[in-house]
Chains A and B, each alone.
Chain A
Amino acid sequence: MATARELKNKIRSVANTKKITRTMEMISTAKAVVCKKRIEATQPYGDKLAEILRDLGGAGGRSESGSFPLLRIPEQVHREALFIVTANRGLCGGYNSNVLKMAENFTVQRNSEGVEIDSYVVGKKGITRFKYRGKETAASYTCFEDRPTFEEAEEVISPVMASFEKGEIDGLTVIFTHYESASRQKPVIRKLLPISADDSEGSSSSRREFILEPSPELILGRLLPLSLKMQFFQALVEAAACEQIARRIAMKNATDNAEEMSKTYTQLYNRTRQGAITQEILEVIAGAEVMS
């Protein structure tokens, strides 16, 4: 059995850990609220873009789709880009490993279909995993924290969209943690390119004839890249929120565990201390009896 002093040290160290995890839990709670607001703020823009894209599809913008490299549908897929969105920091439960596991399965599956995958890894945790496994990344980014900006997202995704237009890659997929609700988040695979027909066509029974200035082609040519960038940006914003939620849950569990541990150790400590006191009293009484 541990001595009283050893137990006391343990109690102190558990209490310190608990302080840290509780603080982290509170920080994550606050950050999650902010991130959630950002998800809500980006939604109208994304929805409206999709709406215009649909209206445009109805207005006959798609008929000239041949002239848009972004709309090309490759007959044979040789190489695809895969964006894996992880966090820069750990201590957030299964958040990173769930995304990475999904990415690995996806890569294996696509490889077996004869498709090469270029992995673009976002977040230090993903990069570390790739290094550990000895796998190559096409590029990696650590610039995204809990407040990704549209400009940053644009810088990252634009070169990849350009190589799709040039035909160097035949697809673009993003794996990130999707925010369904405050209590439900899960990793998802989202295909951004090639744009499937029903995505941009939608209901071709457009509500109204629009005046299109300067020309449908020009508008579509600008709308498509913007819409892709927006989808990527939204993925990053959602992932950031999910990271905070995952960390909050992980840290709450850690705090609860620390509480439990500290209780057990305190009981043990009290028992040991009481045992020592009893022992001493017995010794004193025994000594006194001998004296008399």
Chain B
Amino acid sequence: MADTIHCSVLSPEGSIFEGEVTFIEAHALDGRLGILPNHAPIITALGDGPLRIRIEGQDDRKWQVSGGFLEMLDNHASILAEVLTED
């Protein structure tokens, strides 16, 4: 079992982050959503709110996201934000 998620955060104009993370917290349409490694495949629409990722041995990274999607499959998480600003 893998203990990290390969996570890529993308905005329409480019890639924002790419790397191994241990936890993702996103703001889905109907509430907050936490993703740990080995999560079942999921596609969810994101609402307006913070996106936080936890990287082993580093400070958390945070963005404000407005609209977009999160897809998780085989420990690969892709976050496609419609609007994204660094927090």
C-alpha gap A55/B78 in the complex (Å): 14
17 contacts between A and B (CB under 8 A): A45-B10, A45-B11, A48-B71, A52-B69, A52-B80, A150-B13, A207-B73, A209-B41, A210-B41, A211-B43, A213-B29, A218-B29, A219-B43, A219-B44, A223-B45, A223-B69, A226-B69
A213 touches B43 (CB 8 A): yes
Point out the residue from B15, B44, B73, B82 that lies within 8 Å of A213, measured CB to CB.
Answer: B44
B15 touches A41 (CB 8 A): yes
Binary flags per residue of B59-72, CB closer than 8 Å to A gives 1, else 0: 00000000111010
B12 touches A150 (CB 8 A): yes
Kindly list chain B residues whose C-beta atoms are within 8 Å of the C-beta of A269.
none
Point out the residue from B12, B30, B40, B41 that lies within 8 Å of A214, measured CB to CB.
Answer: B30
Q: Residue on A with the closest CB to B71? A: A52
C-alpha gap A233/B82 in the complex (Å): 12
Complex A-B, nearest 6 residue pairs according to Cβ-Cβ distance, in ascending order: A41-B14, A213-B44, A150-B12, A211-B42, A45-B10, A210-B41
Q: Residue on B with the closest CB to A148? A: B13
Q: Residue on A with the closest CB to B39? A: A211
Min C-beta distance of A33 to chain B, whole Å: 15
If A42-B14, A150-B13 touch, whether A213 touches B30 (CB-CB below 8 Å) is yes
Kindly list chain B residues whose C-beta atoms are within 8 Å of the C-beta of A38.
13-14
If A213-B43, A222-B67 touch, whether A48 touches B78 (CB-CB below 8 Å) is yes
C-alpha gap A275/B69 in the complex (Å): 79
Min C-beta distance of B41 to chain A, whole Å: 5
Point out the residue from A48, A149, A210, A219 that lies within 8 Å of B13, measured CB to CB.
Answer: A149
A208: interface (CB < 8 Å): yes
C-alpha gap A51/B68 in the complex (Å): 14
C-alpha gap A151/B83 in the complex (Å): 9
A91: interface (CB < 8 Å): no
A214 touches B71 (CB 8 A): no
C-alpha gap A77/B10 in the complex (Å): 37
C-alpha gap A182/B11 in the complex (Å): 24
C-alpha gap A93/B12 in the complex (Å): 30
B36: interface (CB < 8 Å): no
Point out the residue from B28, B42, B67, B78 that lies within 8 Å of A210, measured CB to CB.
Answer: B42
A49 touches B33 (CB 8 A): no
C-alpha gap A48/B33 in the complex (Å): 21
Min C-beta distance of B61 to chain A, whole Å: 18
B14, B30, B40, B67: which has the most chain A beta carbons within 10 Å? B14
Kindly list chain B residues whose C-beta atoms are within 8 Å of the C-beta of A42.
12-14
A82: interface (CB < 8 Å): no
Binary flags per residue of A128-164, CB closer than 8 Å to B gives 1, else 0: 0000000000000000000001110000000000000
Q: Residue on A with the closest CB to B40? A: A211
C-alpha gap A29/B28 in the complex (Å): 43
A66: interface (CB < 8 Å): no
B33 touches A213 (CB 8 A): yes
From 1 to 19 in chain B, residues with beta carbon under 8 angstroms from any chain A beta carbon are 8, 10-15
A212: interface (CB < 8 Å): yes
Min C-beta distance of A213 to chain B, whole Å: 4
Kindly list chain A residues whose C-beta atoms are within 8 Å of the C-beta of B71.
48, 51-52, 55, 210
C-alpha gap A150/B73 in the complex (Å): 27
Min C-beta distance of A59 to chain B, whole Å: 8
Kindly list chain B residues whose C-beta atoms are within 8 Å of the C-beta of A149.
13
Q: Residue on A with the closest CB to B81? A: A45
